[in-house]
Structure 1
Amino acid sequence: MVLKLYATPIAGGGSGIVAFVLAEKQIPFELVPVDMSAGERKGADFLALHPFGQIPVIDDDGFILYEGRAICRYLAEKYADEGTPFLPRELQARALVEQAASVEYANFYPAVAKLAVELIAKPRTGQPTNPTAVVEGHAALSAVLDVYESILAKHRFLAGDEFTLADAFHLVAAPRLAAEGVDFLTGKGPNVTRWWNELITRPAWVKLKAEGVKGTV
């Protein structure tokens, strides 16, 4: 049975990062589109897959898994010998990947999410933007990127010289900010700029952004 990905066709958020890993790994999958605006995710059938009514979800021959980062780790482990090796096998190298991934989730993503709420989500729904929250979001993100600059001065990617899930997870939300004209790289160091440009110009990501999420079967 081919793997099923329940997601939207737009390459963003958790759906986008799972589709990215599928593409880098060249894993065949069927896209099951979920209409988020129609309330489909709150129906009984979908809640049976994801009790919180969110996307993405995968069905791998009856094994149901939700939450984008968990799905990516599962795919990286199951298809370790195919495509991009997102997770090293050596214990200490793996620990460094998990360390960097934890930093992304605890520090980078919250700052990006705060800015996305204030500068993208609120204006689209007619809500006023909180200037204090915007300043806080920019300051938090800038502080994270300053630390990244020192890390990336030592090696090409966040957990070493190889591209891993720790780097890929940064594509969950930050590209949306850039697409909406929110500049978070001006004034940042050359290593962060180089690293970020490497992420967003990976062929699989460029294709996803241009074509959207499409099943391969």
Structure 2
Amino acid sequence: MVLKLYSLALPVGGQGIVALVLAEKQIPFEHIAVDLDAQGHKTPEFLAMHPFGQVPVLDDDGFILYESRAICRYLSEKYSDHGTPLLPKGLKERALVEQAASVEFANFHPAASKVVREVWNKKNSGLPIDQAAVDAGLQELSAKLDVYEVILGKQKFLAGDSFTLADLFHYAYGPLLAEGGVDLMTSKGPNVARWWNELLSRLAWIKLKAEGIKGTAS
């Protein structure tokens, strides 16, 4: 049975990183569009899959999984021999990926999400932007990227010299900063800029951003 991904079609947030793993790993899947405006994520049927009523949700032949990072890890493990290797097999190498992924979740994600909430979410919803919140978020994010600059001065990617899930997780909010008019990812420092430009130039991301999330199962 083909995988089913329940989400919006827009490759942003958690659904964006799941779709990117599917693309990098070249995994066939069926896309089930969820209409949030019609409260499609709050129906009894959907809540039976995701008790918090959020997207994305993965259905792998009856095995239901939610939370985007958990889905990404599951797919990367199950399809380890497909497409781009996103999780190394060595114990120490895997530990470094998990270390970098924890850094993303505990440091980059909270700071970036504060900025994105104002400059992208509110902007697209026509709501007034709280500039004080933007400034506070940018200050926090800038401090985190100062540390990234040091790390990326020693290696090509966040967990070493190979692209892994630790890098991929940054696509959830990173691209939305530029779309909201914030160019911090490419102006903070040469190492961060080199790393980020390399992520944005990956063919799987370029195609996903241009086409949106859509099933690839025949």
Same fold flag (TM > 0.5): yes
The one-letter code matched in structure 1 to 2:11 is A
The one-letter code matched in structure 2 to 1:77 is E
Q: Map of 1:100-119 to 2, 5 A cutoff?
A: 100-119=100-119
Rounded Cα–Cα distance in structure 2 between residues aligned with 1:144 and 1:156? 18
Rounded Cα–Cα distance in structure 2 between residues aligned with 1:196 and 1:113? 17
The one-letter code matched in structure 2 to 1:185 is M
Name stretches of at least 5 consecutive residues in structure 1 with no aligned partner.
none
Using the aligned pairs only, state the percent identity: 64
1:180 counterpart residue number: 180
Q: Map of 1:121-136 to 2, 5 A cutoff?
A: 121-136=121-136
Deviations 1:50-89, CA, capped at 9 Å, x for gaps: 0011001000011000011100000001011111110111
1:56 counterpart residue number: 56
Q: Map of 1:1-217 to 2, 5 A cutoff?
A: 1-185=1-185, 187-217=187-217
The Cα of 1:122 is off from its aligned counterpart by 2.8
Equivalent pair of 2:9/2:212 in contact (CA under 8 Å): yes
The Cα of 1:187 is off from its aligned counterpart by 4.0
| Structure 2 residue matching 1:185: 3-state secondary structure | helix
CA RMSD of aligned residues (A): 1.2
Q: How many residues are treated as equivalent by the alignment?
A: 217
The Cα of 1:201 is off from its aligned counterpart by 1.0
Rounded Cα–Cα distance in structure 2 between residues aligned with 1:214 and 1:190? 35
Moved segments of 4+, more than 4 Å: none
Instruction: Give me the TM-score of the superposition, normalised by structure 2.
Output: 0.96
| Structure 2 residue matching 1:158: 3-state secondary structure | coil
The Cα of 1:36 is off from its aligned counterpart by 1.3
| Structure 1 residue matching 2:6: 3-state secondary structure | strand
The Cα of 1:9 is off from its aligned counterpart by 1.1
Distance 1:49 1:90, change over 3 A: same
Instruction: Give me the TM-score of the superposition, normalised by structure 1.
Output: 0.96
Rounded Cα–Cα distance in structure 1 between residues aligned with 2:64 and 2:170? 24
Rounded Cα–Cα distance in structure 2 between residues aligned with 1:185 and 1:96? 23
The Cα of 1:165 is off from its aligned counterpart by 0.1
Deviations 1:25-72, CA, capped at 9 Å, x for gaps: 111100011011111101111101100110010000110000111000
Distance 1:189 1:101, change over 3 A: same
Worse-superposed segment, 26-35 or 184-193? 184-193
The Cα of 1:180 is off from its aligned counterpart by 2.5
The one-letter code matched in structure 1 to 2:153 is A
The one-letter code matched in structure 1 to 2:4 is K
The one-letter code matched in structure 2 to 1:129 is I
